[in-house]
Structure 1
Amino acid sequence: MKRNYDENAKIIKALSDPSRLKIIDILSCGEKCACDILQYFDFTQPTLSHHMKVLMECGIVECRKEGLWSYYSLNSSNCNKLILFLMNLVTDTDECICKDKAKCECK
């Protein structure tokens, strides 16, 4: 399995904000309208829009429009890829970067 460090670092950076982690937690219950998400926070709609934009740009959250309303949900495929990446990152597997003896400078 090829590890994409740059792509996953972008996702992890997006998740490094406590409000965004809370949004992910809220969306784990299913699709939510922006107004439903906003009720869990003490900030404005433009601030929520910024957080949602960051989460959508890294591919963790999807948005669908229905009239004037925006509905958000987790992109389960990308969430699962991130979980798998993290699991492989902290586990000694055959794909571990250290297993490539040709790149090892110490003998």
Structure 2
Amino acid sequence: MRRLATVFKALSDETRLAMLGLLLREGELCVCDFVEVLGITQSKASRHLRYLVHAGLLQDRRELTWVYYRMADQLGAEQRLVLSGVQELVKQQLPDELLESLKTWKQQKQCDGGCGPSPKKRLSSCRGRCEGTIVRPLALFENGIMKRSPRS
């Protein structure tokens, strides 16, 4: 019963549901992807992702200083049952603006060769080669999909 409660607690947060939905659509994402797309700090993204790992829903892998997350290869019975019921809903509920923001971010990241220095340095090093700029649509904030968080 405790494992089941842990899974439901992990799914009871909108940010974690958005992360799960993005991973269900994309397969694997880096912490920096969540930071840029969801507009949250790195520590907050990592904390939410660790919660999902602890619940047995995700697994991670390190590549140099970067950590990548994907759905767990071996789900327990509780995780498998709960995910089978919610995964399509979670994917369908992702706002188009969030998916567009991810698409733009991935283009920019590819232009710059992957995860790297701060966005300001990344943007200046790109020198116009990127097609898009990361802009979090105001609609994401107005509709309560994303919350404004101070970034240092």
TM-score scaled by length of structure 2? 0.49
Report the equivalent of 1:103: none
**Distance change (3 Å), C-alpha of 1:79 and 1:19:** farther
Select the structure of larger CA radius of gyration: 1
Give the aligned partner of residue 39 of structure 1: 36
- After the TM superposition, which residues 40-59 of structure 1 pair with which residues of structure 2 at under 5 Å, given as runs? 40-59=37-56
Contact 2:59 2:70 in 1 (8 A): yes
What is the deviation of 1:8? Answer: 1.0
Question: For residue 60 of structure 1, what is the aligned residue in structure 2?
Answer: 57
Per-residue CA distance 1:47-100 (angstroms, 9 max, x = gap) = 11110111111111111001111010011532774342587xxxxxxxxxxxxx
Q: Find the partner of 2:18 among 18, 22, 32.
A: 22
Question: Under a length normalisation based on structure 1, what TM-score does the superposition of the two structures give?
Answer: 0.68
State whether structure 2 residue 73 is matched by structure 1 residue 71: no
Distance in 2 between residues matched to 1:85 and 1:41, nearest whole Å: 24
**What fraction of aligned residue pairs are identical, expressed as a percent?**
33
Against the structure 1 CA distance between its residues 25 and 79, is the aligned structure 2 distance closer, same or farther, given a 3 Å change threshold?
farther
Residues 24 and 80 (structure 1), Cα distance of their counterparts in 2 relative to 1, 3 Å cut: farther
Q: 1:86 to 1:43 in 2, by over 3 A?
A: closer
How many pairs align?
A: 83
The 8 Å contact of residues 58 and 69 in structure 2, kept in 1 or not, is answered as yes
Structure 2 CA distance for aligned equivalents of residues 31 and 70 of structure 1: 10
